[in-house]
Amino acid sequence: MKTKIRQLPVIPQNPLPPLYAAWIDGILDGPIPNESQATCNNCAMLPDENEGQDDSSYYFNPKTKCCTYMPDLHNFLIGRILLDEDPSFSKGRASVEARINTGFGVTPLGLAQTQMYSLLYRNVTDVFGRSKEMLCPHYIDEEGGRCGIWKHRESVCVTWFCKFESGVTGKIFWANLLGLLSFIEKNISLWCVIQLDVGTDAMQAVLPVFKKAKTENPTTQELNGVSDEKQHRRHWGTWFGRETEFYKECALLANNLTWSDIERICGPELQIHKRLLQDAYQKLVSNEIPERLRVGKFQLTGTKQGGFTALTYSGYDIMSLSQSVIGVLLYFDGRPVTEVLDEIVDKENLRVSPSLLRKLVDFGMLVAV
């Protein structure tokens, strides 16, 4: 089966991979703001060389950064990677081919985490961003460390950031986008399996793989580095021995899908994810200030340059606050914001800008009543 590939539109300055950008662009009212605080090429989770390590902050290993996660790659994404002939993409493509060749977690649905990796990820504490043993197989150790499959990365890696430009408001938006994209990925991967007809026996063998949680322990075969050929043959059915060709055909199928096609394939549950995402997007791009505010939950973690450091929505994103900002926060007790702002001017001779107020709301230091 050969499917003609559709040319994806170019969406300028979109933080999503091309395929997902083409799908999501039509359901939001505008562009997705870039997360400028999360910088892969100059990792924001490494200590400042001039200041040294701050004991109140959580730092990553410069040899891993946040790439301590083995992603599940769905069949159509694998195909896009295999079909990408860009010479600069060769190492990323080779890393995917290497995973396929191991035979572990290789099914028509895609490439799953190995059971050994999943076991360690679930049970060993303090490994994320720090353990070289958990380094992503698609990590390229050059140019300061980069993702070999960035252009075709899956939903978890698309939506994860160490720091969000809009604090908890941004975190909620990206969490909703993760929910929508991961739901699409699972359903489109199943749809591809149906369209390419692996055979009913293979479908029966693969369906439990789709449903099961990542809680199974590794087998002796996996520990010995030997894949189960009998199971592999059962999973692949009529496509056994043509695994890479199958993944490429999945990519061509998915590339031709419009958003209307996605909605038809994924059914009514997708509409819930879509509504939640659209609502989160409106809050992300809004400059509106709630009519009444009170102080939210945050923790002062230390002092810095005459001010304070504070832990708000995330342990990865420590805020620096001046003494005057801390003093201003105490005025917000649920009264109308306009009344509080006037009182701050009268008593402190300070005028709080709308942009600062919005930032305090986004980071959860002020919350609506």
**Tell me, what's the pLDDT at 56?**
53
**Is 8 a member of any domain?**
no
**Tell me, what's the pLDDT at 183?**
97
Same domain, 337 and 268: no
d(CA 275, CA 27): 9
**Tell me, what's the pLDDT at 214?**
64
* Domain span including residue 161: 18-285
**Is 76 a member of any domain?**
yes
Q: Positive or negative, the Cα torsion across 153, 159, 160, 161?
A: positive
Joined tokens for residue 166: 């809009």
Contact 336, 344 (CB under 8 A): no
Of 206, 81, 59, nearest to 137 by C-alpha is: 81
Longest CA span, the chain: 79
**Tell me, what's the pLDDT at 205?**
87
* Cross-strand partners of 147: 139
CA-atom Rg of the chain in angstroms = 24
Same domain, 149 and 275: yes
Same domain, 62 and 164: yes
Calculate the alpha carbon distances from 323 to 110, 230, 298, 326 in Å: 52, 67, 15, 5
Same domain, 200 and 340: no
* Phi, psi dihedral angles at 111 (to 5 degrees): -110, 120
Sheet arrangement for strand 307-311? 299-304, 307-311, 318-321
d(CA 71, CA 155): 9
Calculate the alpha carbon distances from 30 to 68, 157, 176, 278, 286 in Å: 32, 22, 16, 11, 12
Given 226, 259, 285, the domain boundary residue is 285
Of 355, 297, 294, 353, nearest to 329 by C-alpha is: 294
**Is 82 a member of any domain?**
yes
Same domain, 172 and 307: no
Same domain, 33 and 133: yes
**Tell me, what's the pLDDT at 9?**
45
Same domain, 281 and 312: no
Joined tokens for residue 209: 């793989």
**Is 162 a member of any domain?**
yes
Question: What 3-state DSSP class applies to 319?
Answer: strand
Same domain, 177 and 53: yes
**Is 12 a member of any domain?**
no
d(CA 90, CA 85): 8
Same domain, 268 and 315: no
d(CA 66, CA 68): 6
Question: What 3-state DSSP class applies to 193?
Answer: helix
Same domain, 182 and 236: yes
Given 285, 307, 331, the domain boundary residue is 285
Q: Which residues contact 175 (CB under 8 A, 6 or more apart)?
A: 159, 280
d(CA 11, CA 329): 40
d(CA 139, CA 54): 27
Of 121, 19, 26, 24, nearest to 75 by C-alpha is: 19
Number of independent structural domains in the chain: 2
Q: Across the 369 residues of the chain, what is the mean pLDDT of every consecutive 10-residue run?
A: 46 79 93 87 79 66 92 97 93 96 93 89 88 94 91 96 94 98 96 94 84 71 78 93 97 96 97 98 95 94 83 88 91 96 95 94 95
Same domain, 228 and 315: no
Of 202, 256, 264, nearest to 234 by C-alpha is: 202
Is the model's pTM score more than 0.85?
yes
d(CA 166, CA 361): 9
**Tell me, what's the pLDDT at 335?**
96
**Tell me, what's the pLDDT at 8?**
45
d(CA 35, CA 214): 30
Same domain, 207 and 309: no
